[in-house]
């Protein structure tokens, strides 16, 4: 079955997904140029991510959507198990949002340009002024009622286990007094682990758990610490037992 699945990926999935990626990028860029950026910056990408997972025959389950209130802005924070975290969240979270992503992703052909036109937020850590500009942009977007998705680990895991959470997303949530929603991703490390086979996808169920929002308890260091620690624990508790427990990530 493994080799049949690989043949299916090569002959059926690869041509369709490459074409879909090009079309999605072009539709996003053109749509954002002439129309509503919040619509065209989200829905083409959502459909593209949904197609990736469905075409690759990966089962998906989502728990906890009932925790989210319509038209409320949130800062979503998720563990970063693998490349398919993006497809799972984009395709199945069910909320219009912007990504906060590494500056280097801007260089991906077509996709990077589409992300720029969609006003996803590229994190530039080259200096204090660049970091401030990144967070000023995020504040502006969140004040318009949009939500934000961040991987606070900053890099994909090498082991399936979580590393540390950086403070940036929680400082932003504190500044704007927004609830933080932890997201636990299971299965993505098995589908496309960082340390195994560059070319093939491995069949495995995916699960997204949306935890209860963590509301601000004030403003300042105590609130930041509270939202960070409770988010980390919620995400950790939602992991499959095999991947629970801290393991340092050298990328951090």
d(CA 88, CA 208): 7
Yes or no: say if 181 and 191 are a contact pair by the CB < 8 Å rule.
no
d(CA 60, CA 91): 10
Yes or no: say if 58 and 206 are a contact pair by the CB < 8 Å rule.
yes
Residue 213 DSSP one-character state: P
State mean pLDDT over 129-144.
Answer: 76
d(CA 220, CA 16): 48
- Give the pLDDT score at 45: 95
All residues at 6 or more sequence positions from 141 whose CB lies less than 8 Å from its CB, including other chains: 98, 119, 121, 148
CA 174 to chain centroid: 20
- Give the pLDDT score at 164: 95
- Give the pLDDT score at 127: 64
- Give the pLDDT score at 163: 95
Question: In the CATH hierarchy, which fold is given to the domain comprising 1-243?
Answer: Glycerol-3-phosphate (1)-acyltransferase (3.40.1130)
| pLDDT band, residue 133 (cuts 50/70/90) | confident
Percent of the chain with pLDDT over 70: 98
Yes or no: say if 49 and 94 are a contact pair by the CB < 8 Å rule.
no
Quick: pLDDT tens for 195-214: 887 889 999 999 999 999 99
| pLDDT band, residue 141 (cuts 50/70/90) | confident
pTM: 0.92
Give the start-to-end residue ranges of the domains of the chain: 1-243
State mean pLDDT over 221-237.
Answer: 97
d(CA 215, CA 135): 20
Quick: pLDDT tens for 99-120: 987 777 777 777 888 888 888 8
- Give the pLDDT score at 142: 78
């Amino acid at each position: 079955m493994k080799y049949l699945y690989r043949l299916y990926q090569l002959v059926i999935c690869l041509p369709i997904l490459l074409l879909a990626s090009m079309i999605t990028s072009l539709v996003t860029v053109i749509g954002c140029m002439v129309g509503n950026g919040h619509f065209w910056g989200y829905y083409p990408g959502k459909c593209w991510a949904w197609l990736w997972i469905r075409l690759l025959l990966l089962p998906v389950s989502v728990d906890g959507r009932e925790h989210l209130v319509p038209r409320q802005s949130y800062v979503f924070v998720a563990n970063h198990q693998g490349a398919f975290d993006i497809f799972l969240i984009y395709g199945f979270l069910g909320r219009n949002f912007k990504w906060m992503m590494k500056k280097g992703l801007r260089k991906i052909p077509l996709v990077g340009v589409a992300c720029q036109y969609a006003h996803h937020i590229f994190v530039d850590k080259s200096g204090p002024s660049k970091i401030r500009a990144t967070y000023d942009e995020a504040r502006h977007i969140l004040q318009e009622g949009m939500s934000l998705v961040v991987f606070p680990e900053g890099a994909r895991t090498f082991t399936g286990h979580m590393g540390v959470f950086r403070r940036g997303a929680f400082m932003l949530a504190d500044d704007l007094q927004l609830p933080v929603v932890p997201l636990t991703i299971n299965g993505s490390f098995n589908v496309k682990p960082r340390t195994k086979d560059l070319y093939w996808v491995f069949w495995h169920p995916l699960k997204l758990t949306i935890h209860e929002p963590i509301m601000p308890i004030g403003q300042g260091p105590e609130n930041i610490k509270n939202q960070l620690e409770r988010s980390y624990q919620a995400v950790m508790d939602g992991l499959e037992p095999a991947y629970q427990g801290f393991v340092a990530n050298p990328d951090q």
